[in-house]
Homo-oligomer: A and B are copies of this chain.
Amino acid sequence: MSILVFGHKNPDTDTICSAIAYAELKGKLGKDVKPVRLGEINEETKFALDYFKVEKPELVENVAGKKIILVDHNERTQTADGFEEAKVLELVDHHRISNFNVDEPLTVRMSPVGCTATIILNLFRENNLVPSKKTAGLMLSAIISDTLLFKSPTCTEHDIKAGKALGEIAGVDPQKYGLEMLKAGTALGGKSEAELINMDMKTFEIDGVKVGVAQVNTVNEAELLEKKEKLISEMNDIISKDGLKFFLFIITNILSNDSIGIVAGEGNGIIEKAFNVKVENSLVTLKGVVSRKKQVIPPLTKAIQSL
């Protein structure tokens, strides 16, 4: 029976491509490891798989009784059903460790880098191996996705070097290919306002104040700003339902690496203080902001704590 390797639920490009890459590495080391996925792939990942002519991994919903390897996640809420009845052999990840409990010692490789694929390239090298051309292309795609083409503050020097090396193996120009891939991932046409807000929505509780922050990437903010009133109406519904103080919807332009925020609820004062900007007509300009984790939540936290 093959060992299964997979990333998180609601898969992104790093989760899918790192599972494929790690299965290839283990295969070269003589292990029978098969990449699988826990959900539907997104448009960006589809572009990468199509470009490098790789089939999407098989869908698996329950891993009870299986031997498994986790990549790109470790928290219990993000992993497969049946986790408690599986035997966890390995973990390769770049996130914090939280709610990950296992009965037996296992092999773990984690680094605070921008992308799991960067760690996996290191593991190839430690074994004096090189990923195949296709797999190098997918690993490059993962790094581009997680680091927004090397521009996110989560990107490290290791990710940049890995991306360059993988681009050479794959025979593609990271900048040119990367923009195409990111654009493919921003195909938002046809999505309803509720779908846009729920694509990547999280709520946070800071000093007892609950706030919602959603984010989408785009190359055309105008088409989203046209929907401003309907988006605010959706955001107000979530504010009432979840008891939030305010909701910030961040539209990030992946070409300019700037964002525009749409604000609903009682957020103007906090947001103006956090980012030292004016909210006008429910809109706020966030120059150079691309990372919710590193550039939005910390200043919001400070502003709320100083209320």
Interface residues in chain A, defined as those with a beta carbon under 8 Å from any beta carbon in chain B: 94-112, 126
A105 contacts B99, C-beta separation under 8 Å: no
Q: Besides the contacts A97-B106, A97-B108, A107-B110, what 6 more A-B pairs have beta carbons closer than 8 Å?
A: A96-B105, A97-B102, A105-B111, A107-B111, A108-B110, A109-B109
Task: Give every chain B residue within 8 A of A106 (Cβ-Cβ).
Answer: 96-97, 110, 112
> Per DSSP, are chain A's interface residues mostly helix, strand or loop, or mixed?
loop
- The distance in angstroms between the C-alpha atoms of A109 and B119, with both chains bound, is 12
Of all chain B residues, the one with the shortest Cβ separation from A114 is B105
Task: Give every chain B residue within 8 A of A111 (Cβ-Cβ).
Answer: 105, 107
Task: Give every chain B residue within 8 A of A94 (Cβ-Cβ).
Answer: 105
- The distance in angstroms between the C-alpha atoms of A153 and B196, with both chains bound, is 55
A108 contacts B105, C-beta separation under 8 Å: no
- The distance in angstroms between the C-alpha atoms of A112 and B106, with both chains bound, is 5
5 contacts between A and B (CB under 8 A): A94-B105, A98-B102, A104-B112, A106-B110, A126-B126
Task: State how many angstroms separate the Cβ of A174 from the closest Cβ of chain B.
Answer: 23
A96 contacts B107, C-beta separation under 8 Å: no
Task: State how many angstroms separate the Cβ of A146 from the closest Cβ of chain B.
Answer: 12
Task: Give every chain B residue within 8 A of A102 (Cβ-Cβ).
Answer: 96-98
Task: Give every chain B residue within 8 A of A99 (Cβ-Cβ).
Answer: 101
Nearest first, the 5 closest Cβ-Cβ pairs linking A and B are A108-B110, A105-B112, A98-B101, A108-B108, A96-B102
